[in-house]
């Protein structure tokens, strides 16, 4: 009798352990009823896409807005790998009409984009468990930087 109870408890633990492993690894599948929703969210700026895995940090973000200018800093964080995040912004910012200007890499990653009379700087930094993203958006003075936001081709001929 005692062996039967021990065997029953062991089987019960094994079965419940398998179901929790399935949920933990994300292997549980749900039926798909239509086209998959894109992995994108927008915060304040309708032409700056953000992966849904990043959470908006309201306390560290700010927006300045007038009738003609909207500028500010969006701060987000989440457990996203830096390389895939860098690629995400390079692909999706261009899809939203931004022109890739340049980048800086070493530990942190900084991506710079231009669009019309605005500039966007995206800074990504990774610590042990999370990636923090800062998206800076502001105006560009065309009088100081003529041709900003316009593709000029190869200037080195």
pLDDT in tens, 104-148: 998 899 999 999 999 999 999 999 899 999 999 999 987 765 655
Beta-strand pair 70-78/131-139: antiparallel
In a domain, 55, yes or no: yes
Question: Is 144 among the domain residues?
Answer: no
- Residues 125 and 131: beta-carbon distance below 8 Å: yes
Structural domain total, the chain: 1
In a domain, 6, yes or no: no
The domain in which residue 103 lies consists of: 41-139
- In the chain, DSSP finds a helix count (H) and a strand count (E) of 2, 9
Q: Which helix H or strand E contains 2, and what residues bound it? A: helix 2-25
Half-sphere exposure of 77 (CA within 13 A, CB side): 13
Predicted TM-score of the model (pTM):
0.68
Residue 69 lies in a domain: yes
């Amino acid at each position: 009798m005692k062996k039967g109870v021990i065997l029953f408890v062991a089987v019960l633990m094994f079965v419940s352990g398998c179901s929790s492993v399935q949920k933990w690894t994300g292997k549980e599948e749900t039926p798909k009823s239509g086209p998959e929703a894109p992995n994108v969210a927008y915060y304040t700026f309708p032409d700056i896409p953000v992966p849904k895995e990043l959470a908006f940090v309201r306390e560290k973000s700010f927006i300045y807005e007038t009738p003609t200018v909207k500028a500010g800093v969006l701060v987000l964080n989440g457990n996203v790998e830096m390389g895939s995040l860098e690629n995400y912004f390079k692909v999706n910012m261009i899809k939203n009409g931004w022109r890739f200007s340049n980048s800086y890499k070493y530990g942190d990653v900084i991506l710079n984009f231009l669009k019309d009379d605005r500039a966007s700087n995206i800074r990504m930094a990774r610590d042990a468990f999370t990636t923090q993203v800062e998206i800076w958006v502001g105006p560009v003075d065309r009088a100081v930087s003529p041709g900003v936001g316009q593709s000029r081709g190869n200037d080195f001929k």
